[in-house]
Chains A and B, each alone.
Chain A
Amino acid sequence: MALLGLSLATGQYSILSHADGWEMFRNVRVPRTLALVLAGAAMSMSGLVMQLITQNRFVEPTTTGTTEWAGLGLLAVMVVFPRASVLGRMAGAVMAAFLGTTVFFLLLRRVSLRSSLLVPIIGMMLGAVVSAVSTFFALQTDMLQSLGVWFQGSFTSVYRGQYEVLWIVVGVVAAIFHYADHLTAVGLGQDVATNIGVDYRRTVLIGTALVAVATGTVTVVVGSLPFLGLIVPNLVSMRRGDDLRSNLPWVCLVGIGLITACDLLARTIIAPFEIPVAVVLGLVGAAVFIALIIRQTGRGGA
């Protein structure tokens, strides 16, 4: 599946090469593909880590408001320092995402839930609160439309000199690989994790920080990619169970494959124009999400 997506992507850009194709290739196509790979891997893994920490299958950056927080941080930086560099904007987004995710996790710790399906409902409502704040700011500063454009994930604006920040994500991915076993232990619950000698709170904190960095970075460079972190880990664990260390490469690959496929679709449906990848992903993701919900309730568990 993943290989298929990748090979398709390769096919795409050799076909479309013109006379100065090589130049184009180096400046646009390669960065775009790299961005796809990095963003896909980062968002899928963020979803996976969040699902482990919360022990809930329906959690991912979109359903907990993390993405909205990142957007708010981005907006705040843009309002206060209109001339901020990409790095500055990113710092704002990352910090806000960290704050928001921490708030949500704390909330989950304090609140006992009757149904695992309630978690995403509450998360999305929190996201709506944050969105309202963002919208208010954007209205005051006349940035509403650009906010919408910023927010919708798309790889159109990815070209050389614009995407290098994404390499930070590689660090995040490496860190997640490093902490894989600890995070798996955390996924078994606080008591079990403490019993087998894992510092629960520290691991949760590190996991949250990693997720925030990944989400913040991707939001700034690409925009929000809905449901990616939700679909991929679920598909993988349906096939392979829940051992994080052996699943991680798969999650990365499937995530990359999925987003590449969606991006290809987005680029070819109305060529020579393109649809933002988030639209395709939103529709595909929603369908898969609904299927997951039905599966979950069909098995009698809720």
Chain B
Amino acid sequence: MSPEASAAPTTSVTGAPVTGHPAGGATPGATTDPGAATSSPAARRSGAFATPAARRRWWLTYLGVTGLAVCFAVGILVWKNPMEPGSRGFWLIAQRRLDAVVAMIVVAVCQAMATVAFQTATGNRIITPSIMGFESLYRAIQTATIFFFGATGLTATRTVPAFALRLALMVGLSLLLYSWLLTGGARNLYSMLLIGIVIGSALGSLTTFMQRLLTPSEFDLLSARLFGSIANADPDYYPIAIPLALAASAALLLYSRLLNVLALGRDTATGLGLNHTRATIGVLVLVSVLMATSTALVGPMTFLGFLVATLSYQLSGTYDHRYLFPMAASLGLLVLTGAYFIMRHVFYAQGVVSIIIELVGGSVFVIVVLRRGRL
């Protein structure tokens, strides 16, 4: 389900918990390189949480969120299933719905992990990786397909090689940007981001131009693809998408401690013996793999990641990525499954789920920007 097994706390407060410990620091002592054995257990250490109560609260919240998400997922599978439970038809329908749930899991994990890691790497909790031009690229690819090959082309490209090609294109483009950052072409992270956005908007104007020339019926076909929707996910893609998402998220989880150091800012991280630029690039590459997977699978989702990451900071009460990541992934799943379940069975409006999520996420974004004094 979610990668919680590897997120078991290893630097728990040993011996008698020190209550009233001065401010729960975000750095577990001496963890500059992941996997190194920590120092003697007798030394006073600060863990991820300020107090044992905070730790308990995190676990309760986490289990609650995950439990709810699982309930919604099961609900999607069995609710209003017209067949007798246990009969063959029932399982067939559940099987089809299961595909959708799997897509949700992949998207939730990808978006949540990618956004949290990206915000840490950029040292900014306002921006999201989705603005980096992935969406414009996705839209441009889809529009160009229908523009050059017609509606049949669009259906014909629902194949695994085409999916792999889309993925490769997106990751390739972002790697190009990062390599440029690495070689000092852009000395500043924000300038690189902005360049990504500008390239995206230039692509966007080309895309709009191609859309102008489509017949309305072709355009209708296309517009279904242009919005992020779980319906876009094809089970045939899973053999590529799932391993990629798993590998990249596992790598990020393993890097949790490195990210904890990265979060302290460039100077502190360098002082602790971390090659800041290299670590940042490494994280960004993983982020782009995750984002590309999610976008290629279901289409663009601008604010889902932002929404989930923000909620996760609020609920976690810690800066430790070993706790932030699983929380964010579970929250992502909860948001997606919950929204689908409710829209499907309460409002009967399945088609607008992603747009609703976008609007909610967008509003949260505006509120967060207005409430924060510094960016």
- Chain A contact residues, CB within 8 Å of chain B: 58, 62, 107, 110-115, 117-118, 120-122, 124-126, 128-129, 132-133, 135-136, 139, 144-145, 148-149, 151-152, 226, 275-276, 278-279, 281-283, 285-286, 289-290, 293-294, 296-298, 302
| CB <8 Å contact, B198 and A290 | yes
With A276-B212, A283-B202, A289-B198 in contact, is A122–B375 under 8 Å at CB? yes
List chain B residues, Cβ under 8 A from A283.
202, 205-206
CB distance from B197 to the nearest CB of A (A): 6
Is the Cβ of A120 less than 8 Å from the Cβ of B194?
yes
Residue interface mask B198-241, A partner, CB < 8 A = 1: 11011011101101101010010001000100000000000000
Question: Taking the complex as formed, is B366 at the interface, i.e. its CB lies under 8 A from any CB of chain A?
Answer: yes
Cβ of A111 to closest chain B Cβ, rounded Å: 6
Q: How far is the CB of A137 from chain B (nearest CB, A)?
A: 10
Q: Given the complex of chains A and B, what is the CA–CA distance between A152 and B365 in angstroms?
A: 26
Complex partner residue of B190 from A117, A133, A226, CB under 8 angstroms? A117
* Docked-complex contact A122 and B126, CB < 8 angstroms: yes
Complex CA gap A290/B199 in Å reads 9
* Interface residues contributed by chain B, number (CB under 8 Å): 47
Segment from B61-69, B92-100, B161-169, B352-360 that makes contact with A: B352-360
Nearest to B207 among chain A residues (CB) is A148
Chain B residues within 8 Å of A122, by CB: 126-127, 369, 375
**Cβ contacts under 8 Å, A279 to chain B:** 205-206, 208-209
Q: Does B302 sit within 8 A of A, measured CB to CB?
A: yes
Residues from chain A with a CB closer than 8 A to the CB of B201 are 62, 124, 226, 282, 286
Are A294 and B185 closer than 8 Å at their CB atoms? Answer: yes
Q: Say if the beta carbon of B372 comes within 8 Å of chain A.
A: yes
Is B195 at the interface (CB under 8 A from chain A)?
A: yes
CB-contact partner of A144 in B126, B219, B358, B374, under 8 A: B219
- The interface centre, meaning the residue of B124, B202, B223, B366 with most chain A CB atoms within 10 A of its CB, is B202
Asked whether, in the complex, the Cβ of B208 is within 8 Å of the Cβ of A118, the reply is no
B208 lies within 8 A of A293 (CB): no
CA distance A135 to B126 in the complex (A): 23
Q: Verify B209–A144 contact, CB threshold 8 A.
A: no
B194 lies within 8 A of A293 (CB): yes
Cβ–Cβ contact A117 & B194, under 8 A: yes
Residue of A nearest to B366 (CB): A129
Q: Is there an interface contact between A129 and B216, defined as CB atoms closer than 8 Å? A: no
Interface residues of B in 146-193 (CB under 8 A from A): 185-188, 190-191, 193
6 closest A-B pairs (Cβ-Cβ)? A282-B205, A129-B362, A286-B202, A117-B190, A297-B191, A297-B188
